[in-house]
A = this chain, B = another copy of it.
Amino acid sequence: MATGFTSSNDDDLIAAERDVQRAIGDLQIDFDSLAAVSNIFRVANLARYHMERTVLAQHDLSFTAFTTLWVLWVWGEREARHLAAEAGISKGTLTGVVSTLERRGLVERHTHPNDKRLVLISATDLGNDTMAVLFPTFNAEEARITDHLTTKQKKALASSLRSILRTLEGDSK
């Protein structure tokens, strides 16, 4: 599959920036913001693909299915719309993902006893056991791909990303 753009070292990025500058002519572009944001997309795209091919393929789980099951493993039973929000997908998408996980015996659906509109979703024992094995492996791979960063750099990276996250979440209010 693809890696997003063709190269990734700093010299090549400068060359790419020059191409962009030429293409846009005299338009004003904020290259620092461009580099920061576009690299977020590139890394996320490639890292997701990488995790699906290595760690998750062993258990035949998609990245979204893994994320959904992870939320249930850590926080326990959730109502469907909250689970969708926490997994970062629409509720329409969640219906399909939960159906897939349910078919595999990893999660269960239950109607809320006091409100029949609500669906409660929880991980089964098999689901929890799967995550107990899978997550340490997943985290070890997270550590490996960030191995060239110092602890301080990792903390700064997470902090900068949280800053962007707050701005994005502020928009929807």
Least Cβ–Cβ distance between A119 and chain B, in angstroms:
16
- B residues less than 8 Å from A43 (CB atoms): 40, 44, 161, 164-165, 168
Residue interface bits A119-155, CB-to-B below 8 A is 1, else 0: 0000000000000100110011011111111010111
Q: Are B86 and A5 within 8 A (Cβ)?
A: yes
Q: What is the count of identical protomers in the complex?
A: 2
Q: Are B157 and A36 within 8 A (Cβ)?
A: yes
Least Cβ–Cβ distance between A68 and chain B, in angstroms:
11
Q: Are A148 and B168 within 8 A (Cβ)?
A: no
Interface SS of A by simple majority: helix
Q: Are B86 and A6 within 8 A (Cβ)?
A: yes
* A90-B2, A163-B148 known; A47+B40 contact, CB < 8 A: yes
Interface size for A (C-beta < 8 A) is 82
- B residues less than 8 Å from A160 (CB atoms): 149, 153-154, 156-157
Q: Which A residues between 81 and 132 are near B, CB-CB below 8 angstroms? A: 82, 84-90, 132
In the complex, A44 Cα to B27 Cα: how many Å?
26
A167 on the B face (CB < 8 A): yes
A37 on the B face (CB < 8 A): yes
Q: Pull 23 A–B residue pairs with CB atoms less than 8 Å apart, ordered by A.
A: A1-B90, A3-B169, A4-B87, A5-B86, A8-B166, A9-B162, A16-B74, A20-B74, A24-B135, A29-B135, A32-B155, A33-B139, A33-B143, A35-B158, A36-B142, A36-B149, A36-B158, A36-B161, A41-B48, A46-B165, A145-B167, A145-B168, A148-B166
